[in-house]
Amino acid sequence: MTTVIKNGKLISNNKIEENLNLYFKDGKITAITKENLPYDSEIDAKGAYVSPGFIDIHVHGGAGFEFVDGTKEAIKAAANIHAQHGTTTIYPTISAYDNKKTVIALDALKKYKDDADVLPNIYGAHLEGPYFSPKQTGAQDPSYIRTPDPEEYEQLFADYGDVIKRWSYALELSGSDEF
């Protein structure tokens, strides 16, 4: 089914263009043109901006849920609220916690990230710690901050290397070179 978006201000190639029709089918743009091509459904942008989807590389949750909650309900609600506001790709961020809670969150992300009910693309998880300096914990709970533990991170990589795409840590910590 081909859909056209008409009457919008299209953000494209570092400029804003009007009087263009954007056609898409199966989630892929098929044409951007002034021509009137065949379509099955129409969206009237009514002068609003039409832009590429946003990518959020650091998002803990949304809609009253956090990704670390580790449930389908939390992942779906937190992800989908971002999709409603134009974010099409997210990196769910897991704060510093004990290893058990991190594993629960990663298990859930692995299980539900490609679920049809989850609207934005979940490109991968962002682990925020726990390997931070105790002197610079920021918003992290200091009780979860620790130095890199090879047994812990090697197992996480073995089990979730396909899910973990970003991992924030402190370079100055003992053991960070090996990590």
Contact 24, 3 (CB under 8 A): yes
- The pLDDT-based confidence of 14 (bands split at 50, 70, 90) is confident
- Report the pLDDT value the prediction gives residue 110, as an integer from 0 to 100: 96
- Report the pLDDT value the prediction gives residue 31, as an integer from 0 to 100: 96
Q: What is the DSSP string of the chain?
A: -EEEEES-EEEETTEEE-S-EEEEETTEEEEEESS----SEEEE-TT-EE-PPEEEEEE-EETTEEGGG-SHHHHHHHHHHHHTTTEEEEEEEE-S--HHHHHHHHHHHHHHTT-TT--SEE--EEEE-SS--TT--TTS-GGG-----HHHHHHHHHHHTTTEEEEE--TTSTTTTT-
Q: Which two tokens stand for residue 38?
A: 């065949």
**Alpha-carbon distance 49 to 145, whole Å?**
43
Instruction: State the average pLDDT for the chain.
Output: 95
- Report the pLDDT value the prediction gives residue 83, as an integer from 0 to 100: 93
Q: Which residue in 43, 52, 42, 54 sits closest to 16, CA to CA?
A: 52
**How large is the C-alpha radius of gyration of the chain?**
20
- Report the pLDDT value the prediction gives residue 27, as an integer from 0 to 100: 82
Is the pLDDT reported for residue 165 higher than 90? yes
Question: At the fourth CATH level, which superfamily is domain 2-50?
Answer: Urease, subunit C, domain 1 (2.30.40.10)
Q: Phi and psi of 48, rounded to 5°?
A: -75, 165
Q: Which two tokens stand for residue 37?
A: 């091509």
- pLDDT single digits (tens) 92-149: 999 999 999 999 999 999 999 999 989 889 999 999 999 999 999 999 999 999 999 9
- pLDDT single digits (tens) 34-80: 999 999 999 999 999 999 899 999 999 999 999 999 999 999 999 99
**Alpha-carbon distance 71 to 79, whole Å?**
12
Contact 137, 152 (CB under 8 A): no
CATH architecture of 54-168: Alpha-Beta Barrel (3.20)
Does the predicted model carry a pTM greater than 0.85? no
- Report the pLDDT value the prediction gives residue 167, as an integer from 0 to 100: 97
Q: What is the DSSP string of 165-176?
A: EEEE--TTSTTT
**Alpha-carbon distance 168 to 148, whole Å?**
12
- Report the pLDDT value the prediction gives residue 13, as an integer from 0 to 100: 81
Domain extents in the chain: 2-50, 54-168
